Structure 1
Amino acid sequence: MIDRSRLARLLDRERDAFRKRNPRSAAAYEQARGHLFGGVPMTWMNKTAAGFPLYLAEARGARVTDLDGHEYVDLCLGDTGAMAGHSPQATVEAVADRFGRRGGATVMMPTEDAAWVGAELGRRFRVPYWSFSLTATDANRWAIRLARAITGRPRILVNSYCYHGSVDEVLLVVGPDGRQVSREGNVGAPVDPTVTSRVVEFNDLPSLERELAYGDVAAVLMEPALTNIGIVLPEPGYLEGVRELTLRYGSLLINDETHTFSAGPGGCTKAWDLTPDIVTIGKAIGGGIPSGGYGLSAEVAARVEAMDGLDLVDMGGVGGTLAGNALSVAAMRATLEHVLTDDAFAAMTELATRFTKGVQEVIDAHGLPWSVTQLGARAEYRFTNPAPRNGGESNAAGDPDLDDYLHIYLANRGVLLTPFHNMALMSPATTEADVDLHHEVFAAAVADLVS
Structure 2
Amino acid sequence: MTICDHIPNDRVTRVAEAERATFVARNPKSAALAESAGRHMPGGVPLHWMKDFGTPFPLVVDRAEGAELVDADGHLMADFCLGDTGAMFGHAPAPVVAAIRAAVGDGLTAMMPSPDVTRVGEGLADLFGLPFWQVTQTASDANRAVIRWARAITKRPRLLVFAGCYHGQVDDVFVARDEDGRTVNRPGLLGQVVDLSATTVCVPFNDLAAVERELARGDVALVLTEPALTNTAMVLPAPGFLEGVEAACRAAGTLFCLDETHTISTARGGYTRAHGFAPDFFVVGKPIAGGLPAAVFGFTAAVEVAMRRVDAERPHGYSGVGTTLSGNRLQLAAMRACIEEVMTADAYAHMLTLSAVLADGLAAAIARHRLPWSVTRLGARAEIVHSPTPLLDGAHAARTVDHDLEGVIHLFLLNRDVLVTPFHNMTLVSPATTRAHVDRLVVAFDQALDALAG
- Structures share fold, TM-score greater than 0.5: yes
Cα deviation code 1:65-109 (max 9, x no counterpart)? 111111110000000000111111100000000003xx1110122
The answer to whether 1:383 aligns with 2:386 is: yes
Compute the displacement of 1:312 (Å).
10
The answer to whether 1:299 aligns with 2:316 is: no
- 1:72 alignment partner, one of 64, 70, 77: 77
- 1:86 alignment partner, one of 62, 86, 91: 91
Give the counterpart letter for 1:340 in structure 2: M
Give the counterpart letter for 1:164 in structure 2: H
Measured in 2, the distance between the counterparts of 1:357 and 1:203 equals: 26
Q: Determine the structure 2 residue equivalent to 1:118.
A: 121
Q: Determine the structure 1 residue equivalent to 2:351.
A: 348
Aligned 8 A contact 1:312 1:318 in 2: no
Q: What are structure 1's unaligned runs of at least 5 residues?
A: none
Indicate the SS of the match to 2:323. coil
Compute the displacement of 1:237 (Å).
0.6
Give the counterpart letter for 2:17 in structure 1: D
Compute the displacement of 1:309 (Å).
4.5
The answer to whether 1:132 aligns with 2:135 is: yes
Cα deviation code 1:199-238 (max 9, x no counterpart)? 1111001111122222211100000111111221111110
Aligned 8 A contact 2:34 2:43 in 1: no
Give the counterpart letter for 2:66 in structure 1: G
- 2:256 alignment partner, one of 249, 253, 257: 253
Indicate the SS of the match to 1:235. coil
Measured in 1, the distance between the counterparts of 2:77 and 2:316 equals: 45
Compute the displacement of 1:120 (Å).
1.5
Cα deviation code 1:374-410 (max 9, x no counterpart)? 1011100111111211111111110011111100000
Measured in 2, the distance between the counterparts of 1:191 and 1:312 equals: 27
- Considering only aligned residues, what root-mean-square deviation do their CA atoms show, in Å? 1.3
Q: Determine the structure 2 residue equivalent to 1:240.
A: 243
Q: Determine the structure 2 residue equivalent to 1:4.
A: 9
Q: Determine the structure 2 residue equivalent to 1:34.
A: 39
Aligned 8 A contact 1:310 1:316 in 2: no
Compute the displacement of 1:8 (Å).
0.9
Cα deviation code 1:358-387 (max 9, x no counterpart)? 011011111110010110111001111112
The answer to whether 1:426 aligns with 2:399 is: no
**TM-score normalised to the size of structure 1?**
0.97
Give the counterpart letter for 2:278 in structure 1: T
Aligned 8 A contact 1:56 1:67 in 2: yes
Measured in 1, the distance between the counterparts of 2:315 and 2:11 equals: 59
**TM-score normalised to the size of structure 2?**
0.97
Cα deviation code 1:154-202 (max 9, x no counterpart)? 1111111111001001111122332212111012225122112011111
Aligned 8 A contact 1:155 1:197 in 2: yes
The answer to whether 1:45 aligns with 2:78 is: no
The answer to whether 1:217 aligns with 2:220 is: yes
When residues 310 and 170 of structure 1 are mapped into structure 2, their CA distance, relative to the original with a 3 A threshold, is farther
The answer to whether 1:158 aligns with 2:144 is: no
When residues 285 and 40 of structure 1 are mapped into structure 2, their CA distance, relative to the original with a 3 A threshold, is same
Mapping of 1:85-104 within 5 angstroms? 85-100=90-105, 103-104=106-107
Q: Determine the structure 2 residue equivalent to 1:358.
A: 361
Compute the displacement of 1:6 (Å).
1.1
- Farther off after superposition, 310-319 or 105-114: 310-319
When residues 63 and 311 of structure 1 are mapped into structure 2, their CA distance, relative to the original with a 3 A threshold, is farther
Q: Determine the structure 1 residue equivalent to 2:197.
A: 194
Q: Determine the structure 2 residue equivalent to 1:372.
A: 375
Give the counterpart letter for 2:67 in structure 1: A
- Farther off after superposition, 176-185 or 337-346: 176-185
Q: Determine the structure 1 residue equivalent to 2:3.
A: none
% same residue? 47
Measured in 1, the distance between the counterparts of 2:171 and 2:225 equals: 14
Aligned 8 A contact 1:340 1:428 in 2: no
Q: Determine the structure 1 residue equivalent to 2:65.
A: 60
Q: Determine the structure 2 residue equivalent to 1:168.
A: 171
Q: What are structure 2's unaligned runs of at least 5 residues?
A: 1-5
The answer to whether 1:181 aligns with 2:184 is: yes
- Farther off after superposition, 346-355 or 313-322: 313-322
